[in-house]
């Protein structure tokens, strides 16, 4: 039976364990040029050194006008390749494999990024606590964006990364294509489920043809797009399209959405539950994420065959050595579920990290 620290093979790449660092945007680390900075190198290098098997670099935009934030990483230009080469090198140095999540915000691109956000269909309404007004993509614009996704993936390959992950969750562009709540197109990119998935299916084909057979192509998607039953069908369609890896999170959520009902006795939240249900219907590896904090929680999901990987978000931000400590049964700096997480405030530092540093200084002083 597999365990948390057993290897797994995707295409011709062996990943040393089932611990994943999910993509988490480091706001304030970069600038308008989308270039990797020393802060990024240090941040990802620390988690690779800490024993993580697979690192997925944060949402990285394929088009400067499709950014979520002015300081978001980019792969829209060749000038951005050297920085990602450094990230690949430092992650590989410690035995971690590394993907980059390629992204376009679509209709939720910030107003300080573009005055005219784009969406699968015309849209006016509230999304992510903002009032959104977006226009429908023209057919030639869809094809141009698909080419930009392929180009970004090829830059990632040229940089030495092991693959890419599409950001098809959280209400961003690919999620908008998946969702019948937003995608009201009447052409070959809207209507039926196959048509709604076509946008990314064609990009998969383009990347595979250009990048070859060894390059990993994954997709992060929601388990509520707009419900679990439909999301299972999306996952199966992606598998038929050639996806290598699925990373299950949340999709485009209406305000009242609480996700699929979690059965009694399932000791994880609905996002993890949705991932375990999708795994039952596909043959490609599945990453589950959200609220998984302890080695015991992570190990159970792998050992019971409920998932192939478990992603530690906040856990790895708090303690970069999470994986090594878990494998060696050493104490891990825990998340104490602060009401407002300090990690997600610009320049914030986790109170647990501050406390651990103080204890280390005191111990060294006593010695």
* pLDDT tens track for 120-151: 999 998 776 778 899 999 999 999 999 999 99
| Assigned token pair, 65 | 């006008």
Can you give the pLDDT at residue 273? 98
How many Å apart are CA 149 and CA 142, to the nearest integer? 11
How many Å apart are CA 286 and CA 247, to the nearest integer? 6
Residue 320 pLDDT greater than 80, yes or no: yes
Mean pLDDT throughout 148-155? 98
Can you give the pLDDT at residue 210? 98
Can you give the pLDDT at residue 205? 98
Which tens digit of pLDDT belongs to each residue from 166-205?
Answer: 999 999 999 999 999 999 999 999 999 999 999 999 999 9
How many Å apart are CA 10 and CA 239, to the nearest integer? 14
Residue 111 pLDDT greater than 90, yes or no: no
Which residue, among 172, 262, 258, 260, has the nearest Cα to 220 in the 3D structure?
172
Can you give the pLDDT at residue 118? 97
Mean pLDDT throughout 208-223? 98
Which tens digit of pLDDT belongs to each residue from 321-361?
Answer: 999 999 999 999 988 777 666 665 655 677 676 655 544 44
The band of 31, judged by pLDDT with boundaries at 50, 70 and 90, is very high
Can you give the pLDDT at residue 347? 56
Q: Which residue did the predictor score with more confidence, 367 or 200?
A: 200
Can you give the pLDDT at residue 336? 78
Can you give the pLDDT at residue 112? 92
Exposure on the CB side of residue 210, measured as CA atoms within 13 A: 20
Can you give the pLDDT at residue 198? 98
Residue 364 pLDDT greater than 50, yes or no: no
Assign 3-class secondary structure to the chain: CCCCCCCEEECCEEECCCEEECCCCCCCCCCCCCCCCHHHHHHHHHHHHCCCCEEEEEEEECCHHHCCCCCCCECCCHHHHHHHHHHHHHHHHCCCEEEEEEECCHHHCCCCCCCCCEECCCEEEEECCEEEEEEECCHHHHHHHHHHHHHHHHHHHHCCCCEEEEEECCCCHHHHHHCCCCCCCCCCCCCCHHHHHHHHHHHHHHHHHHHCCCCEEEEEEECCCCCHHHHHHHHHHHHHCCCCEEEEECCCCCCCCCCCCCCCCCCCCHHHHHHHHHHCCCCCCEEEECCCCCHHHHHHHHHCCCCCEEECCHHHHHCCCHHHHHHCCCCCCCCCCCCCCHHHCCCCCCHHHHHHHHHHHHHHHHC
Can you give the pLDDT at residue 254? 64
Can you give the pLDDT at residue 367? 35
**Mean pLDDT for the chain overall:** 92
Residue 233 pLDDT greater than 60, yes or no: yes
Which tens digit of pLDDT belongs to each residue from 240-285?
Answer: 999 999 999 999 876 667 789 999 999 999 999 999 999 999 999 9
Q: What is the pTM of this model?
A: 0.94
């Amino acid at each position: 039976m597999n365990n948390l620290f057993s290897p797994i093979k995707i295409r011709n790449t062996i990943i040393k364990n089932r611990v994943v660092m999910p993509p988490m945007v480091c706001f304030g680390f970069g600038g308008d040029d989308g270039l990797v900075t020393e802060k990024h190198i240090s941040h990802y290098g620390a988690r690779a050194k800490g024993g993580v098997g697979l690192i997925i670099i944060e949402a990285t935009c394929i088009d400067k006008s499709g950014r979520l934030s002015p300081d978001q990483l980019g792969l829209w230009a060749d000038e951005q390749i050297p920085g990602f080469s450094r990230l690949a090198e430092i992650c590989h140095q410690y035995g971690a494999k590394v993907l980059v999540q390629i992204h376009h915000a679509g209709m939720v691109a910030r107003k300080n990024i573009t005055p005219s956000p784009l969406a699968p269909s015309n849209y006016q309404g509230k999304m992510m606590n903002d009032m959104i007004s977006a226009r429908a993509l023209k057919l030639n614009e869809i094809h141009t964006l698909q080419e930009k996704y392929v180009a970004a993936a090829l830059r990632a390959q040229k940089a030495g990364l092991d693959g890419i992950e599409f950001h098809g969750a959280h209400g961003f562009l690919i999620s908008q294509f998946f969702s019948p709540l937003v995608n009201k197109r009447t052409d070959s990119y809207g209507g039926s489920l196959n048509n709604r998935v076509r946008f990314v299916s064609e990009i998969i084909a383009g990347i595979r043809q250009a990048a070859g057979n060894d390059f990993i192509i994954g997709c992060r998607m929601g388990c509520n797009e707009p419900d679990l039953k439909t999301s299972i069908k999306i996952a199966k369609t992606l598998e038929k399209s050639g996806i290598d890896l699925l990373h299950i999170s949340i999709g485009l959520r209406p305000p009242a959405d609480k996700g699929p009902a979690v059965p009694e006795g399932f000791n994880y939240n609905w996002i993890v539950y949705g991932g375990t249900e999708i795994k039952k219907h596909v043959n490609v590896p599945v990453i589950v994420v959200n609220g998984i904090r302890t080695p015991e929680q992570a190990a159970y999901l792998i050992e019971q065959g409920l998932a192939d990987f478990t992603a530690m978000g906040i856990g790895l931000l708090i303690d970069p050595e999470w994986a090594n400590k878990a494998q060696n049964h050493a104490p891990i700096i825990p998340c104490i579920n602060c009401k407002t997480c300090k990690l997600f405030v610009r320049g914030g530092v986790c109170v647990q990290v501050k406390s651990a540093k103080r204890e280390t200084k005191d111990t060294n002083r006593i010695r």
